[in-house]
Amino acid sequence: MKKALKDLFIYIFAGGLSRLLPLVILPYMASRLNHTEFGIFSLFQLYLSLGSAILLLGLDQAAFRKTSERISTAEKHQVMGTALYTVLIMGTILTIASGLFHTAVNQLLFEGELTHPVVFVALFALIVSIDVLFITKFKAEQRTSEYLRLLLTRSLLFFLLMIILLESGLRLEAYFIALTVSELTVLLLMSPDIAAAMRRGFSPPLLQEMMKYGMPLFGVGFLLLLIYQFDHYLIKEYFGVEETGIYAYAYKFAAIISTFVLITNNVWMPRLFEKGISFAYDYLREYTAYILVTSGFFLLLLFSAFRLFPGLLIPAGFGQTPYLLTILGLGFLFYAHSQILDSILLNDHKTWLLFLFNSIALVCNIVLNLIFIPKYGMEAAAIITALSYLLLWLLILQYIVFRYRELSLIKTGLEGLLITIPFFLQLFFEWIPLVWIIFILLSIFIIIRNRELIYKLKSLIINISG
């Protein structure tokens, strides 16, 4: 249990801080860049995550699984070498293709507004993919101190460089320079592991085995990325790069809820399910309730900050941020719950179901966005995103309840709906104390209903530690 708590602290501190620092600097960046530059920055980040996912093809998840097993060091290096060479080959092809079709790609992705070589997208995607691959290995091997050092080095270096370069008068170039230095520094710190992996070389049979495990997870993740990004792209197409930046500004803050749940799940879910499915179910409802209350608390803090300090957090031209954040935040609360429920299907090797459910949500997302974004713009995009996550949550919840006969999860779903009530009210009432009072009362009610977790802690410590 001590190890679990230590890992939880490190993953939340390192993982959370590495994602929080870019958010802290975001209002400053938005005020320093013009709307077109900030829109390009937002689109570049979206394409970077999409390109990295394509290059990795789920190999990072397969590598996590393989390197966390009891295999020799040489075998671990072989796993990483196989994944690394695959990423390098894919990245080289993507870079060459983007260079050959520079003008067309620039027009397609940035409406021709990117004044830097569009090949940067592919090159940075390759660097980020390698970083993700080996940081995942450190996490799998529970090298927590190195994991902490890597994430903090990358985020702090990026954060400091951005401030210095923006203050020195650079604009969009500041982002590219800070990203280059921070990512290459992390690669340098991981160079011993990278060199060892490269010496072990490439194994086609091992690649086939890893792809068999990683590709379904890649499919699910890729669909989620499309749900994340399709509305951004449509806004760019219909309203220009500038509007995309404004929408992405609110979206990045709302997505912090998903990040928090993902980090906590990475620590606790494997420890619950390694003791058996029945053991995990004994704690899943209470765990879910506490995580949802905590997620709602963080989201409400964000809302309150934007309402109380608009001059500090809302740059000129970004006035729609609080309203968009409220709608998107509702969607991410549903998505946060579905992230927890995902673990049940993943543990039962039903990745194909997650792929199916995400496909349904994506199709609905695309159709609705195509219909309503041209007419209603960013507001429609935010509402449709929230509805897509609500649909995904409902699909996963109803399947698990009926497939596994876990009727207690219906109560968890109702508690999830309860915690969203204050955020619906936030859309109509701007009196923050009222929203806080309702949220606190509902949170107390949910915690009392799940107070059994307090009495189960002794058993949980004994079981996990044993």
* Per-residue pLDDT tens over the stretch 322-352: 889 989 999 988 888 888 888 778 777 787 8
pLDDT in tens, 85-139: 999 999 999 999 988 898 898 898 898 888 888 888 999 999 999 999 998 888 7
d(CA 438, CA 349): 39
Residue 465's pLDDT is what?
46
Q: Which residues contact 193 (CB under 8 A, 6 or more apart)?
A: 80, 134, 137
- Listed in order, strand segments (DSSP E) in 344-464 are none
Residue 83's pLDDT is what?
93
**Phi-psi label, residue 339: left if phi above 0, alpha if psi -120 to 50, beta otherwise:** alpha
d(CA 415, CA 393): 13
The residue that leads in pLDDT, 34 or 147, is 34
For residues 252-261, average pLDDT: 84
Most distant CA atoms of the chain, gap in Å: 63
What percent of the chain is modeled with pLDDT above 70?
A: 87
d(CA 126, CA 190): 15
For residues 260-285, average pLDDT: 70
CA atoms within 13 A on the CB side of 397: 24
DSSP string, 181-212: HHHHHHHHHTHHHHHHHHHH---HHHHHHHHH
Residue 463's pLDDT is what?
52
Structure tokens that stand for 72 in this block: 């020799």
Model pTM score: 0.83
Among candidate residues 245, 223, 230, 273, the one with its CA nearest the CA of residue 26: 245
The answer to whether residues 320 and 246 touch, using CB atoms and an 8 Å cutoff, is: yes
Structure tokens that stand for 340 in this block: 């927890």
Structure tokens that stand for 411 in this block: 């109560």
In this predicted structure, the answer to whether residue 387 has a pLDDT above a threshold of 90 is yes
The top-scoring range by mean pLDDT among 22-31, 406-415, 454-463 is 22-31
DSSP string, 253-267: HHTHHHHHHHHHHHH
Q: Which of 80-89, 215-224, 246-255 has the lowest mean pLDDT?
A: 215-224
Q: Which of 77-86, 366-375, 381-390, 412-421 has the lowest mean pLDDT?
A: 412-421
Residue 81's pLDDT is what?
94
The residue that leads in pLDDT, 300 or 351, is 300
Q: Which residue has the tokens 């009530």?
A: 421
pLDDT, averaged across the chain: 84
The answer to whether residues 50 and 229 touch, using CB atoms and an 8 Å cutoff, is: yes
* b/e sequence 151-183, b meaning 16+ C-beta within 10 Å: bebbbebbbebbbebbeeebebebbbebbbbbb
Q: Which of 4-8, 15-19, 389-393, 414-418 has the lowest mean pLDDT?
A: 4-8
- Give the helix ranges, DSSP H, for 57-203: 59-67, 73-100, 102-110, 119-140, 144-167, 172-189, 191-200
* b/e sequence 378-398, b meaning 16+ C-beta within 10 Å: bebbbbbbbbbbbbbbebbbe
pLDDT tier for residue 164 given thresholds of 50, 70 and 90: very high
Residue 249's pLDDT is what?
92
For residues 365-393, average pLDDT: 93
What interhelical angle do 241-254 and 277-308 show, nearest 10?
Answer: 120
Q: Which residue has the tokens 């806080």?
A: 436
d(CA 112, CA 77): 42
Q: Which residue has the tokens 């937002």?
A: 42
In this predicted structure, the answer to whether residue 466 has a pLDDT above a threshold of 50 is no
For residues 160-189, average pLDDT: 91
The answer to whether residues 258 and 335 touch, using CB atoms and an 8 Å cutoff, is: yes
